[in-house]
Chain A
Amino acid sequence: MLSDQTFSRYSRQIALSEIGEQGQKRLLNAHVLIIGCGGLGSAAALYLAGAGVGRMVLVDDDTIESNNLHRQVVYRSKDVGRSKTKAMADQLTALNGDVQLRGLNHRLDDTQLSMEVMLADIVLDCSDNIETRHLINQVCYKQKTPLISAAAIGWQGQFAVFDYSDTNGCYRCLYPFDQLNHDTNCQSMGVVGAVVGILGNYQALAALQMLALDEFIVATSQLHLFDGKTMSWQTVAISRDSFCSVCGNLDNRLQVMDEEMQ
C-alpha cells in the first residue's frame, strides 16, 4: 500500500488506468542507469525523478560550462564549474527527495559499466560519442537489459529502444562503424536546446512505459528521426544484421573477426 502522502503526490499519474497504484509501486522500486548528464540526461532525469523512479545512477565525467546552460536545463547559472553529476543530483533531490541518487564522476570501463548495468532495470544512453554508445550497447546486449538510446545535433534528433529480443537489430546493426562522417558533436555543429529536450523526454517516456507497465508500448528496434525544422518524425525499422559483431550469428562474427585481423 502506498502512504496517503505518496498516493497524493503521484495521484495524477496513478489516475492513468495503465499505471495505477501497481505501476507507481513499480516506479518507486525501479533502478535506472543514466549515462551522460548533458541535454538528454537533463530532460530525461527530471521527468524520471518527477515520476518517482526509486533509484538513479548518474554517470558523467564533465563539469558544467556556461555554454551548456541553453540546453542542459537541469543546471542553474550558479552551477558553472561544478561537477555535472553532483549538480544534477542536487537539483533532482530538490525536485523529489525520495529518489535515491548516486553520481559517478568519471568514465566507466567495461567492468564498471557491466556492474552498473547489472544493477539497473533499464539504461538510458544520453552520452555524446559513438565509442561510448557502442560499449553501452555491447554490455546491454550481453545482459539483455533494455537500452533507450537518443542523440541530437543541430536541428535533428534520433531515438531508438533496444530490447534485444531474438529477431530485433541492435545499435551496432544500425551503426556498424566506429567513426562518424564529420565532427557531428555539439561543439562544432551547435544544437537547439528544445530539440535535445524533446529527445530526452522521449527517453523518459519510453522508460516510464517499461518501468510502470513492465513492457514497452512503443515499438522496439525502430529508429525515430526527428527534424526540428519541419517538426516531423520519420521512422525506419532497424534490421538484425546476421554479420553484426555484437549480436550476429557466431560463425559470421568469427568470420568478421578473422577478416579484421588480416
Chain B
Amino acid sequence: MTMMTITLNQQQQDVAVGINLREIIMLYELPEQGCVFAINNRVVPKSEWQSTQLSQGDAISLFQAIAGG
C-alpha cells in the first residue's frame, strides 16, 4: 500500500494514499458529536467527508463547537 504523510492536529501521520476524511475519522476514532473538521484551514461539511480525499501534506484540524456566552 502506498503511503503519504498528513498532519492531524499538528501531529504527523502516515496514511494510505486515497484515504478520505470519513475513513480518517474512523481510523483514529475521532469524536464526531459536536466536532468540526477542517483541512488546510477550510471546514469540510459533514456531507463531504466521504468524498473528500486527502493529499500528501494536508493538515487536518479538529475542534469542538462551544456555545457559552
Contact = CB atoms under 8 A, between A and B. Distances in A.
A223 B66 CA distance: 12
Contacts of B36: 174-175
A257 B69 CA distance: 30
Interface string A218-262: 000001010000000011111111111000000000000000000
Contact of A179 (B34, B44, B66, B68): B34
A36 B43 contact: no
Contacts of B33: 177, 179-181
Q: Which residue of B34, B48, B64, B68 has the most chain A CB atoms within 10 A of its CB atom?
A: B68
Given A130-B67, A181-B64, A186-B68, A244 B34 contact: no
A260 B22 CA distance: 21
Interface string B50-67: 000000000001011111
Size bracket, chain B contacts = 20 to 34
B66 A184 contact: yes
Interface stretch (A2-10, A86-94, A98-106, A152-160): A152-160
Contact of A128 (B31, B34, B42, B67): B67
Contacts of B64: 180-181, 184
A236 B35 contact: no
Contact of B66 (A38, A39, A153, A243): A153
Interface string A169-201: 100011111011110111001010000100000
B46 A239 contact: no
Contact of B43 (A41, A236, A242): A236
Given A177-B34, A236-B38, A237-B41, A184 B68 contact: yes
A147 interface: no
Interface in A133-183: 133, 150-153, 156-158, 169, 173-177, 179-182
Given A174-B36, A239-B45, 14 more contacts: A38-B69, A151-B66, A152-B69, A153-B66, A181-B31, A181-B35, A196-B69, A234-B61, A235-B41, A236-B42, A237-B41, A241-B48, A243-B46, A243-B47
Interface of A: 36, 38-41, 125-130, 133, 150-153, 156-158, 169, 173-177, 179-182, 184-186, 189, 191, 196, 223, 225, 234-244
16 contacts: A39-B69, A40-B69, A151-B69, A152-B69, A158-B65, A174-B36, A179-B33, A180-B34, A180-B67, A181-B33, A185-B67, A191-B68, A237-B38, A237-B42, A242-B47, A243-B47
